[in-house]
Amino acid sequence: MSALHLSSTIADLRTQVKIWRQASQSIAMVPTMGALHEGHFSLIREAKLRADRCIVSIFVNPAQFAPNEDLNTYPRQLERDLEQLVSLGADLAFTPATQEIYGENFATKVVVGGPAIGLESDFRPTFFEGVATIVAKLFIQATPNYAIFGEKDYQQLCVIRQMCRDLDLPVKIIGSPTIRDEHGLALSSRNAYLDADQLDIARRLNLILRESASAISHGVTPDLETARASQALVEAGFTKIDYVAARESTALAPWQADKPGRLLAAVWLKNTRLIDNVEIAAQT
């Protein structure tokens, strides 16, 4: 097992990457906001399968939080995260301070469209701009061959793929299947906010989505089925439904029956917002 190199500055990160490049080694990157769990671990394992070296960034990105969101309370456990990275055999942890990423008079942002329009952006208008900006910066700083993202954040995955195509960024984006607990709940750092009763409710989300995706793939009109799913989620105990929507799998345009798609949802349990998605099989 190789030692974990710690970098907190862009200069040090680039120095280490240069050494690996000079040795003709490939690099895979896993961008995270820390509070690592089994979902992240699966991405790191995938990265190690893809490349000679694995970089994991840990940075709670303020640019993707709205003023009313949980930036200040977002789980942070850097020491534990680094211990996990050592056990997983990651090669480098990039842990910059906010000032290192967004220096004085920072003024440049990546503006995204296409799959970024609608769904999350209806409720978090600046979210994908913040995500695209930090991911583009990380790719420029680390120059990875591969970057691994979880399918739980499916719209984000589509946005990052679109950005790399549009900006000719030489990074292959790998989508890794969502990791779930034994009840089907997608693993998320924000699950730590949920008490036992809320966890019981949260575990209904994926079941309801899978039932609705099956109904749509068997011919039920998407608008009717997503309305039914929203009602089922309210009856299950979710306190607010931001959206349940059927979309095609790449550009996230409205779903068409002859193409595979995704059923995506964002819901609330009191102060905690959860997202999930499931595949919709193409009608035959």
Q: Determine whether the annotation assigns residue 22 to a binding site.
A: no
CATH code of 61's domain:
3.40.50.620
Domain-located, residue 267: yes
Q: In which band, very low, low, confident or very high, does the pLDDT at 132 lie, cut at 50, 70 and 90?
A: very high
CATH number, domain of 247, equals 3.30.1300.10
80-130 pLDDT tens trace:
999 999 999 999 999 999 999 999 999 999 999 999 999 999 999 999 999
Does residue 183 fall inside a structural domain?
A: no
151 is in an annotated binding site: yes
> Among 191, 74, 64, which Cα is nearest to 124's?
64
27 touches 145 (CB < 8 A) = yes
Check the annotation: does 35 bind a ligand: yes
The answer on 205 and 95 residing in a single domain is no
* Same domain for 240 and 210: yes
CB-CB contact of 159 with 128 (8 Å): yes
pTM over 0.85: yes
* Residues with Cβ within 8 Å of residue 117, at least 6 apart in sequence: none
3-state secondary structure of 121: helix
Distance (Å, whole) CA 17 – CA 94: 11
Name every residue whose Cβ is closer than 8 Å to that of residue 83 and which is 6 or more positions away in sequence.
none
Summarised one tens digit per residue, pLDDT across range 146-178 is 999 999 999 999 999 999 999 999 999 999 999
Residue 1 pLDDT > 60: no
Residue 64 is assigned to a ligand binding site: yes
Cα 265 to its chain centre, rounded Å, is 14
The answer to whether 256 and 131 are in contact (CB under 8 A) is: no
**Residue 284 located in a structural domain:** no
Residues 151 and 204 in one domain: no
Same domain, 209 and 246: yes
Residue 32 and residue 40 in contact, taking contact as beta carbons nearer than 8 Å = yes
At 258 the pLDDT is 84
Please tell me whether residues 201 and 228 are part of one structural domain: yes
Query: Which of 66-75, 83-92, 193-202, 225-234 shows the lowest mean pLDDT across its residues?
Result: 66-75
Cβ neighbour number for residue 138 with a 10 Å cutoff = 24
- Six-digit token string for 6: 């710690």
**168 a known binding residue?**
no
- Give me 74's structure tokens: 């977002």
Instruction: Catalytic residue, from 5, 40, 183, 218: name it.
Output: 40
* Known catalytic membership, residue 5: no
Instruction: Give the residue from 143, 176, 209 where a domain finishes.
Output: 176
Expressed as residue numbers, the domain containing 249 is 189-277
User: Does 83 share its domain with 157?
Assistant: yes
Residue 32 in any domain: the answer is: yes
DSSP state of 115: G
Crossing angle of helices 127-142 and 154-166, rounded to 10°? 60
The 10s digit of each residue's pLDDT in 257-270 is 888 899 999 999 99
Secondary-structure breakdown of the chain: helix, strand, coil percentages, each rounded to the nearest 5: 45, 20, 35
